[in-house]
Amino acid sequence: MGRRLYAYPYHLWTFLFTVVPLALIVYFAFTARDTAAFTLDNLRQAAQPVYLGVLWHSVWLAGVSTFLCLLIGYPMAMILAKSRVRYRRMLTMLIVVPMWMNFLLRTYAWMTLLEKNGAVNAFLGFLGLPALHILYTDYAVLLGMVYNFLPFMILPIYSVLMKMDKSLLEAAEDLGADAWTSFRRVTFPLSLPGVYAGTIMVFMPAVTTFVISRLLGGGQYMLAGNVIEQQFLAIGNWNFGSALSVLMMILIFLSMIGLSRYDKDSDGGLFL
């Protein structure tokens, strides 16, 4: 009696606001725009070279920015884990603070910096170096992605490194491993769960972004997110937009399943 007071309302909640919205996307993806009859045309349209190119471009840029975040972020995570307790708290705090600032403002900051008459070029001119013209190119988009998502790579790796058993490193040293070997054979393999978590947390927002590409890429370099946005808000072709969203979801769930297979430490619950 009263035992199931809240269970049913929550089932209703998830059904209405999680299941139904996703079902709507799937419904639109598989129906024709004018007749609402079942069709695969929307998916076929998404397989056109133009859109495959856009999709590939998004995956490529997100992949490169994830790799750059790993390359830049891993040493920072190690430095954090090795620093003394007093500095460590301050450093983590300093890394977290920019994340609290509105995401759009951070991206906007790079717009002003990279402008033709922006601060970066003023500085380069001051040094007598030639000006950079990367605003509204892929390089600016990459920069924006790395800047926005770098903390998402640093923090999970750092938290795994902190939990690592330090005596393993001493053991490796006792057994004659030099610093590089013990990093390659001990530290890095043990930090892989953090690397996977960071990879997901960077790759996912990067591959679906439409803001960074719109503001820093200037519009001529369209990513998948931009096409979806355009289909829904400008062109009004919900069916094609839904088909692209379904592809996007499949891509992300596949890459997450792929990565979580290697993550043996996870608590489960992500996938039945």
Partner 1 sequence: MMRFLRRSYAMLILGFLYLPILILIVFSFNASKSRATWEGFTLRWYGELIESEAILDALSNTLSVAVLSSLIATVIGTLAAYAIYREMGSWERKLSMNLTYIPLLNPDIVTGISLMLLFIFAGMKLGFGSLLLSHVIFNVPYVILTVLPKLRQFDQHLYEAALDLGASPAYAFRHIVLPEILPGIVTGALFAFTLSVDDFVISFFTTGSGVNNLSILIYSMARRGIHPTINALSTLLFLTVLVLLIAVNLRMEKKVKREARR
Q: Could you say which of 104, 129, 171, 235 contacts partner 1 (CB under 8 A)?
A: 104
- For residue 33, state whether it binds partner 1 (rule: CB under 8 A): no
Q: Are 152 and 98 in contact (CB under 8 A)?
A: no
Q: Could you say which of 22, 40, 52, 171 contacts partner 1 (CB under 8 A)?
A: 22
Give CA–CA dist 239/236, Å, rounded: 9
CB of 148 to partner 1, least distance (A): 10
Q: In sequence order, what are the residues at sequence separation of 6 or more whose Cβ sits closer than 8 angstroms to the Cβ of residue 26? A: 242, 246
Is 64 or 249 the residue whose CB approaches partner 1 more closely? 249
DSSP letters spanning 180-245? HHHIIIIIHHHTHHHHHHHHHHHHHHHHH-SHHHHHHSTTTS--HHHHHHIIIIII--HHHHHHHH
- For residue 181, state whether it binds partner 1 (rule: CB under 8 A): no
CB of 169 to partner 1, least distance (A): 15
- For residue 269, state whether it binds partner 1 (rule: CB under 8 A): yes
- For residue 217, state whether it binds partner 1 (rule: CB under 8 A): no
Q: Could you say which of 142, 195, 222, 256 contacts partner 1 (CB under 8 A)?
A: 256
- For residue 139, state whether it binds partner 1 (rule: CB under 8 A): no
Tell which residue, 115, 131, 142, 264, has the closest CA to residue 193. Answer: 264
Q: Could you say which of 48, 112, 181, 266 contacts partner 1 (CB under 8 A)?
A: 112
Q: What end-to-end distance do the CA atoms of the chain give, in Å? A: 30
Is 195 or 201 the residue whose CB approaches partner 1 more closely? 201
